[in-house]
Structure 1
Amino acid sequence: MRAQENYENYELQVYGSRIEVPQTTMLELHNVGIADGTKTLDGTGFAPNGLYYTNNSFHETVEIREGISAWMEASFYIFTCARSGLGWDWVGDHIRSQLRAPERWRWPVGAGISVDFGYQRPYYAANTWTMELRPIVDKQIGRWYLAFNPAFVKSIHGQSHSQGFAFAPRVKFSYSLNKHVFIGGEYYANYGPVSDIYSFRYQQQQFFPAVDLNLSPDWELNFGIGIGVTTSTDDWIYKANVGRRFDWKRRRGSASSGKFQ
């Protein structure tokens, strides 16, 4: 067995505890290119794992994230995939809600939890319905930022539905060169079921040198190149996450100011 196939290479992001505030919307494109992934068998279009091959494929995920309250946001995802000669294809959809610990609690770290549920089509994922519970812990220490997401993924329908939760941790660290540029690294993994962790070769593990650009409060930019270190992981991946924030309260205020000038 290998680590559960799911939607991990469609949205490569380590979550922080900060969320969108009410009356703001984040539109984010998660662009993932797989430069060296699973190969097709004899031109069938399928890899040895029974799924569509990933080599030289491009994944684009559209995320719409909305602030609900001071402690809650909600997201909707659309997963797509493009492969040479086969065009663009819809892969699946997910919904996600994230809660955060209120600042008035004065905890020494940022904390929250994300709950994700969704569908991905057969041949793109061995598990078509999945649920993820992802605790979130982060901390700013001077110029350093650290985030840890010890996620737990459960197959509701598919190859691994009879297994328990799989452990899929994600880690991020970054260092602020200045107020606009942050460099660091990210780690993504899936170790398999908590009750029976897979041997190293069957786990999924990826390391990403990454750069974050903070050019404006309205934009979020993250870039990285990933290296897979196990036989069950795509070998080379690049990602570019581009997010645009829309502050509806500010826009309405600006419109009102213009009207009465």
Structure 2
Amino acid sequence: MRFPVSLAVLAAVAALCVCGSSRCFAQAASSQSSSQSPSSVQNNTPQPSPSYIVIDPLANVRYDNRYDLSLGMAYAHIKAGPNLLQGANLGGLNLSGSYWMSRHWALEGTGRGYVGTSGAAPNTFLNAKGQADSIQGPFVAQYVFAGGPEWLGPHNKHGALIAHVLAGGAYGQFQKDLRGQPTSLVGFYYDQLAPVVVMGGHIDLNRSAQWAFRISPDAILTDYAVNWGRRSRQMDINTAISVGVEYRFKKKR
């Protein structure tokens, strides 16, 4: 009779042990999952995007420089003679510099060289071999040196409009390719230094505080003398333009 009672007690004790172990396992599993969940949430948090620093290259444009210098490829249309129907399209360089006395006023000087060929009046002559010959498309050149006032007009950090009126001299070279023939044969002026007035200005497009892209349209007035025909002088107004760069020196007024 005692054996069955002891067996029942042992079975009850075994059942209690199994229940206790399963409960401990469940608590351990729940604690482990709870300890891992914050880390998984933390790992899934999105990273902040990188920030960019914006730099304005025109922030320091002030127009308070004392000096500036510009150089550009130049074009000019001229007439090599007083009665020519064909003009000359010349190319060259335009070098200009300014000394700023105030924010709006400066003294500007310019040196320009234009070279090319020109149409000539119909002509025929006997060359050294006694053969009939003619001059077609002879070389011509014009060198301009002038100075005068310059005015800074509407402007901001992006660009500026500048006007000038410059006076000086223009050296015209017209006889180089005439092969010793008189200028009257082709209807040209003779080589000479003549008065010149340059009227126009600059269009500056700033690229930084010191550098700008410059466009310089002008009207060039010349007064060349004639040594043949009825006229003694001929005043011409022709167009010119140059495209290049300008540098403003860091020295301030």
Bigger CA radius of gyration: 2
- Relative to total residues, which structure has the larger strand share, 1 or 2? 1
Q: Same fold (TM over 0.5)?
A: no
TM-score normalised to the size of structure 1?
0.34
- Relative to total residues, which structure has the larger helix share, 1 or 2? 2
